[in-house]
Amino acid sequence: MAFKDIVGQSEAIGLLRGAMHRERIPSAYLFLGPRNIGKRTTALTLAKALNCREAAGDSCDACPSCRKIDEQVHPDVETVSPDGRFIKIGQVREVTNRLALIPFEAAKRVIVFSQAGRMQDPAANAMLKTLEEPPLNTLLILCAERAAQLPETIVSRCVPVRFGLLGPSDTRALLESAPKLDAKLLDFSIRFSQGRLRPELPARAEQWMEIRDEMIKGMEGLNRPVFTQLSQQMARWGSNEDWRFVLEWLESWFRDLVFLAEGIGPARLINGDRLEEMRNCAQWFDGERAQKCYRRVLDTRDAIGINANKTLALEAMWLGFKDEIRQARAGA
């Protein structure tokens, strides 16, 4: 992918191309912004553009250098991602040791640290040494959601570049160029991309839309005494990867309920197309209760993240919602 093909990050790309044009590329950039909006893609495109043998100021995507970077076999362009939950000191040392040697073939060697916010202190300290004495002809690009995830000593040695969420028209353009989605699935995909690049969405949209329908039905049935059916569903969702979307959807639903209670209009609600059902739910979940349930969803995701049994965690969360309704009915 070349700079001209990257959607929705014109400000960041303008800044990078300007620095290239003036030959003022620093030794380290810090790309900041939410996940899945194109930071890593832009970093690798910059690596290509800096080394391209054909195009000036961009990547041609065809010369040997561009192709090697795309195929992840360029000896001077590397990406370091978390090994498990963290980027470890061994990973940082392995890369920085190599920086003592001159580049094999690149005009500019580029090392991209994706999710650099997941560096533990020893790894960050190892990185700091390289930032303090930057090797020649080398560019480090650290990608993180927020500067606060990294030690100030690292942040202060990098030039920050901010990346924003994509606007609805950018998201629509991206999804429309993807495999054919009917109007309903396209609308659903735009709602749930929430300004991010989500390449998995077109393929999952139909399945996720079904899960949303089941969950909304379950939400409306929460005030009835029996909910065996959804309990079985929780077991099924917990046994595969669907639990991720179940939690994502619940997060969006309770966030919407909080917004609704604050009088925010349907255009800003992710589930604004299901307003009637949301209003039914709002009978039980006022702003405060919706906020509590929202927290419960985040806590459930954290618990699963540290290895809680998924099905049990989902069921406990669901019982928690039911308990909120019971309290609402009791006027507690």
Interface positions with Zn ion (CB under 5 A) = 52, 54, 60, 63, 66
Please state the closest distance from residue 51 (CB atom) to Zn ion, in A.
8
Q: With left for phi above 0 and alpha for psi between -120 and 50, is residue 72 left, alpha or beta?
A: left
Name the residue among 68, 70, 66, 133 with its Cα closest to residue 96: 133
The 8-class DSSP code of residue 286 comes to -
Nearer to Zn ion among residue 105 and residue 176 (C-beta): 105
Name the residue among 281, 227, 222 with its Cα closest to residue 253: 281
* Terminal alpha carbon distance of the chain: 57
Strands (E), 97-226: 109-113, 138-144, 159-162
Please state the closest distance from residue 66 (CB atom) to Zn ion, in A.
3
Nearer to Zn ion among residue 27 and residue 41 (C-beta): 41
φ/ψ (deg, to 5) at 144: -150, 160
Please state the closest distance from residue 64 (CB atom) to Zn ion, in A.
8
Nearer to Zn ion among residue 16 and residue 313 (C-beta): 16
Please state the closest distance from residue 11 (CB atom) to Zn ion, in A.
24
Nearer to Zn ion among residue 60 and residue 235 (C-beta): 60
Distance CA 294, CA 299 (A): 9
Token match 């795309």: residue?
70
Nearer to Zn ion among residue 46 and residue 52 (C-beta): 52
> DSSP 3-state assignment of 2?
coil
Please state the closest distance from residue 300 (CB atom) to Zn ion, in A.
46
Nearer to Zn ion among residue 60 and residue 308 (C-beta): 60
Q: Report angle CA 180, 184, 190 to the nearest 5 degrees.
A: 80
Token match 């090392």: residue?
111
Please state the closest distance from residue 72 (CB atom) to Zn ion, in A.
15
Please state the closest distance from residue 135 (CB atom) to Zn ion, in A.
24
- Two tokens at 69? 């970077």
Q: Report angle CA 244, 218, 300 to the nearest 5 degrees.
A: 35
Nearer to Zn ion among residue 64 and residue 90 (C-beta): 64
Nearer to Zn ion among residue 8 and residue 103 (C-beta): 103
With contact defined as beta carbons under 8 Å apart, do 103 and 144 qualify?
no
Please state the closest distance from residue 56 (CB atom) to Zn ion, in A.
10
Cβ neighbours, 10 Å, residue 277 = 16
